[in-house]
Structure 1
């Protein structure tokens, strides 16, 4: 008999995990977000005995994730978390922007129950579809006693929602933890073996996120590189850019051709945060830089949240 507090809610948002191709051997020519979350659950026999609810919030290719979907998702997740009978939430998501959604949800919700994002690198029609096992593992994590916070579960790995990053374009194990941290744990035959503490933090609140995308601040990411030119920054400033994240070379360096345009943005009141485009490490010697240890994409989310808090 199921406990009254073991209900798991699975929220579908689309992605490759719900994708379909014309051939079982086609792993790249598929269309994302074709199958309902209910059909994904039904395709995993081991889930049929679980106390599950499934609902479809969106059907996106996650490369097209947008602010209104983030706002709806955060509110809907919070509504389910507030239900006493709900033990945890699983979100099926595309891999392209999973790390951004995970970061956003942890900062906004900092949930005391587990919120588990899962995804797939192969469509549901593939011979080597990884979605069913990932979904099964995600439910196992959501049911784990003591689990809390926003995490991601892919390829048997449990990753911290504030640290996860996609590092490969094709492999099934396409995600890694932050370079100076490590996995939260692994899922082995439906059992979680934890290595670190679960995510914690102070919730900013889902109501911080405007439901109207026009009310979100305009924040962009720009990479510094050889041969950089300032015209894009100058155009953005003229058009009303509200925040900038620089994906810097090395330990936070920026091409000299960009320096004047960056300073002009700062002088006009636009916050400019530095992070590094390097896959490993953080900006050393910049304790005032909030983005020093973040990926450019996580830094963009963090700066967006800060601007929303400022009103």
Structure 2
């Protein structure tokens, strides 16, 4: 299996500020590279940093760019690391691309934090690639959900299925 990992930003990639007296986290190098390096993988992969945006700053044009990039890619297995706030919206924009399995995932805490859920969510996303032939899905909270049946519960912050 060959997998393309696409970084578009979000909490998963947030890192401590590089400037003195900086309070806000900044989106750094792809967290996925550190996650994959820590594991004994049975597949080949490539990592592309398409953009580094907080998902709240993502525009319809950004979402179209992500969809077009996936559509043009030679890869048929793709994982997109994204922010959780607009993850469902981006997944719906990507839609179903014939012959491709695309899984979007995120993290509630940056991968740099010891109590991050990033590794788990990426593991669920990669596991899904081996078991689904085609479609776009969201991997969060140990679930794999089709975007049309997925929402983020405003009270709990968890992704749930309709």
Q: Name the TM-score, length of structure 1 as normaliser.
A: 0.46
* Cα distance in 1 between the residues matched to 2:143 and 2:24: 25
Aligned to 2:4: 9
**Structure 1 residue ranges (4+ consecutive) displaced by more than 6 angstroms after TM superposition:** none
Aligned to 2:109: 122
Aligned to 2:57: 64
Contact 2:7 2:80 in 1 (8 A): yes
1:76 and 2:38 correspond: no
Report the Cα offset of residue 121 of structure 1: 0.6
Contact 1:87 1:143 in 2 (8 A): no
What are the within-5 Å matches in structure 2 for residues 155-166 of structure 1?
155-166=141-152
Report the Cα offset of residue 51 of structure 1: 0.9
What are the within-5 Å matches in structure 2 for residues 183-262 of structure 1?
none
What root-mean-square deviation, in Å, do the aligned CA atoms of Structure 1 and Structure 2 show? 2.2
1:141 and 2:162 correspond: no
Cα separation, partners in 2 of 1:162 and 1:95, compared to 1, 3 Å: same
Contact 2:152 2:160 in 1 (8 A): yes
1:53 and 2:40 correspond: no
What are the within-5 Å matches in structure 2 for residues 287-298 of structure 1?
none
Cα separation, partners in 2 of 1:96 and 1:169, compared to 1, 3 Å: farther
Q: Deviations over 1:130-186 (max 9, x none)?
A: 011111221111122x43211000121001122211114665xx10112xxxxxxxx
Larger Rg: 1
Listed as ranges, the gaps of 5+ residues in structure 1 are: 1-5, 23-28, 179-311
Cα separation, partners in 2 of 1:20 and 1:163, compared to 1, 3 Å: same
Listed as ranges, the gaps of 5+ residues in structure 2 are: 18-22
Contact 1:18 1:34 in 2 (8 A): yes
Secondary structure at 2:28's aligned position in 1? coil
* Cα distance in 2 between the residues matched to 1:30 and 1:15: 13
Report the Cα offset of residue 21 of structure 1: 4.2
Cα separation, partners in 2 of 1:61 and 1:32, compared to 1, 3 Å: farther
Q: Name the TM-score, length of structure 2 as normaliser.
A: 0.85
